[in-house]
Amino acid sequence: DRSLKIAPSILSADFANFGAECEAVEAQGADWVHVDVMDGHFVPNITFGPSTCKAIRPHIKGVMDVHLMIAPVDPYIEAFAESGADFITAHVEAGPHIHRTLQAIRGAGAKAGVALNPATPASAVEELLDMVDLVCVMTVNPGFGGQSFIDMTAKVAKLRAMIGDRPIHIEIDGGVTPATAPLVANAGADVLVAGSAVFGGGSVSNPAPYGENIRAI
Ligand code: DX5
Ligand code: ZN
């Protein structure tokens, strides 16, 4: 399904209210919920791990999209799969054996995603396209919400051509706003992650802005 999907990132939600935030944002029209896992090593920020993902899972009716910004990845795949993640995405830069990591993700029963930092070319995933369900193009250097969009439109277009007819999602992560979304959507992306642009101005007790923000993207 290549229709455009909005995946709010709970990195910009209230960390003391993840369950209610996931329910609110889905009720307001989110297609997927994006869950950012950071380890303070692969990226300069720390969020949470598989036990939090497991706690969030019952509060998401649709797709739970787990983005791992951790290194190493392989020792934790089983735990993230058991947490109920639908997609588990690992970075191509996170270790020397991304092929093994992607095999392990599918082997654990989840859909496999591969993420590319801004400096990593599209060609880095060329040999992986028969083993992934999603390619995530980072449009910020990962670690924080609310950063400004780095234009990766040309990379997205290259990936779209490379992917051909394969049923692989192209996801954009970072700095997505109503101004930047059309650039990447027109280049062939079908999943747009948005944190600050969705959660800004709303809260669990006032969730209507989430819906307005989603529709504006
Ligand atoms: C960045 C994360 C993103 C981030 C996006 O490291 O992977 O998912 O939350 O946040 P915004 O949309 O605010 O750039
Ligand atoms: Zn992310």
pLDDT digits (tens, 9 = 90+) for 125-158: 999 999 999 999 999 999 999 999 999 999 999 9
> How far, in Å, CA of 136 to CA of 67, rounded?
9
- Predicted complex ipTM exceeds 0.85: yes
Residue 93 CA to its chain's centroid (Å): 16
**From the candidates 36, 65, 133, 190, which is the catalytic residue?**
36
Extract the annotated binding site.
9, 34, 36, 67, 143-146, 173-175, 195-196
- What confidence tier does 91 reach under pLDDT thresholds 50, 70, 90? very high
* Structure confidence at residue 28 (pLDDT): 98
Asked if 7 contacts 174 with a C-beta cutoff of 8 angstroms, the reply is no
* Structure confidence at residue 1 (pLDDT): 82
Largest CA distance in the chain: 47
Please state the domain extents for the chain.
Answer: 5-216
Superfamily of domain 5-216: Aldolase class I (3.20.20.70)
